[in-house]
Structure 1
Amino acid sequence: MSVALRTGQALRRTAIQAVPTMLGIIVLCFLLLQLMPGDVADVLAGESGAATAESLEAIRSRAGLDQPLLVQLGQYLWNVAHFDFGQSTRFGTPVSQLILERLPNTLVLMLTALGLALGLGILTGSVMAVYAGRWPDRVLQLVVLFFYSTPGFWIGLMAIVLFSVQLGWLPSGGSQTIGAELTGLAALLDRLPYLVLPALAMASFFIAVYARLTRAALLEVLRQDYLRTAVAKGLPPFVIYTRHALRNALIPVTTVAGMHLGNLLGGAVVVETVFSWPGMGRLALEAVAGRDFNVLLGVLLLSSFLVIVTNVAVDLLHAWLDPRTEAS
């Protein structure tokens, strides 16, 4: 079966599943948010220090909060069906504009963290499997256990103390030099130092997970008959490990990596707050604090879409790693 045909089938299957899934997410999140105490009118009144009953009613009327709950839900679903996520009741700007301003920063942080987690995790797990039972395996298992049992935000705070405060090597927060209007390669080089610490803090737990998965999967694969045949044929060890063993061992790792995207999005809230990273995580936190439900629903909806797209990518990767999965 061709790659184009497999891709088309995966996209059609995902589209059929994604519509009811995202609809359920919207309805559930909308109803759960209504259980939160207060609304944007109460928050704005508290920030201003005082407000009359008439001004509160005017704010609620302008935001559509005076309508019955089902009417609000129906209106929101109608707007989303027309790709309109509404206005931010706090900032007075379209929700889509706010999200698009923050989305690139979050994607860069997430993809960098995921790349570090997969790269370092697979490399560490491979070394542990090759030297299973010997001192490199035991030392690396202790390091992996430390990262697995330590919260990422604590590692981030300690990294700030060491690399920013004590050594002064890396910035402690932000995403770029303030006031530096750089473009192209200069802008990329300027942003890289700001990306290192938050990406490592977000990736630390997942490095440990992927290392342990890779070690276990490789040890299982290395006991298979076809690898004994490859060794008997005199293939170089590097070829045996990379082309035969590691390729099959990566299937459970990539499966778990696709499932962890939602955890990365959730962890972005804490990491972006610790490092003052201007992404969707901080936007969601600000929306919760300000009871800006339109912004929060928009962030949740886009996050769900990213998870679904990632699952499609994982399915296609599995089909490439093991063509036998095409039939499933």
Structure 2
Amino acid sequence: MTPKEQGFFFPAEWHPHRATWLSFPQSSDSWDYGERLERIYPSYMAFVKAITESENVCINAKDEEHQALIWRLIEEYGIDKSKVEVPIHPNNDSWCRDHGPAFLINPETKQRMIVEWGYNAWGGKYPPYDDDDRIPIKIAEYLNLPYVVPGIIMEGGSVEFNGKGTVLTSKSCLLNPNRNPHLSQSEIEDYLRNYYGVEQVLWVTEGIVGDDTDGHIDDTTRFVNEDTVLTVVEPNEEDDNYHPLKQNLEDLKAMRLPNGQPLNIIELPMPDPVYDSGVRLPASYANFLITNKSIIVPTYGCDKDDLALSIIQECFPKHKVVGINATEIIWGLGSFHCLSQQEPII
């Protein structure tokens, strides 16, 4: 029986968490060894500290030396050690949203399960990725949870859930032949329904410029409740993001939920373009993480930061919105949501 047939589903991100999982940065593909890697530590550790204010943080360490470094930084940045776990789980890169486990819950039986999707570093872009591909099973063993292996490529940043049977994703990513070229759109939808326990799959068209994942949804559109989304927009017609984000907005306006109602759509600005060595980076305020008591939002030191934070705060009146400068983090082509994967509780 599939997870859906057994009553399991992937809960919305605002469902209560036991912990948030991270894989500590160490890859030369995402971060140059030495100075560039160390420059992300202040923002990264501020991120860890913000999570521990309301839940545990579990950080995958590649080996004992790496584990010792993480504990030293935990102490150096004044983070509560009792809220941190650092298991040794060999990994290749830091993007736990994509290579980490998909946690499913069954509220009736009070059980949890992990989906071990295949992982190929966004179409084979950054080998090796074999250790990352094994992370979900390592975590299943660590937590003594059952797991299921669908046998296809899927990344956590490519899907967004409302917890009531709907998943949002993007054609530019999931239909890209560098993921599952043997599958049609309808076949991919069947996998999403059966292994995420959803009823409805909704598709936007594109991602943002600079996103090496081929257009992950967590950089463009996020559910804030079961019928409301935040979606990034770009009013500057000269900006490369103008047309793809305009198309996504039109896609969203045409969508209907299973009850026939349209989505409530709240527009979120894009930050000013962020460049490094002439390369545009995928900076977006939509790449925030929802924790038990806070919304951790990447900021970029521009005039739009305060507006973005205020819009997000209005969407989550019971949460504390925490902005953390991500200009060093985004150099690795991802931000706080990309770095993390939540572990729900029953």
TM-score interval for Structure 1 and Structure 2 normalised by the shorter chain: under 0.3
Q: Comparing both chains, which one has the higher relative contact order based on Cα–Cα distances under 8 Å and sequence gaps of 6 or more?
A: 1
TM-score (norm 1): 0.25
User: Normalized per residue, which structure has more helix?
Assistant: 1
Larger radius of gyration: 1
User: Normalized per residue, which structure has more strand?
Assistant: 2
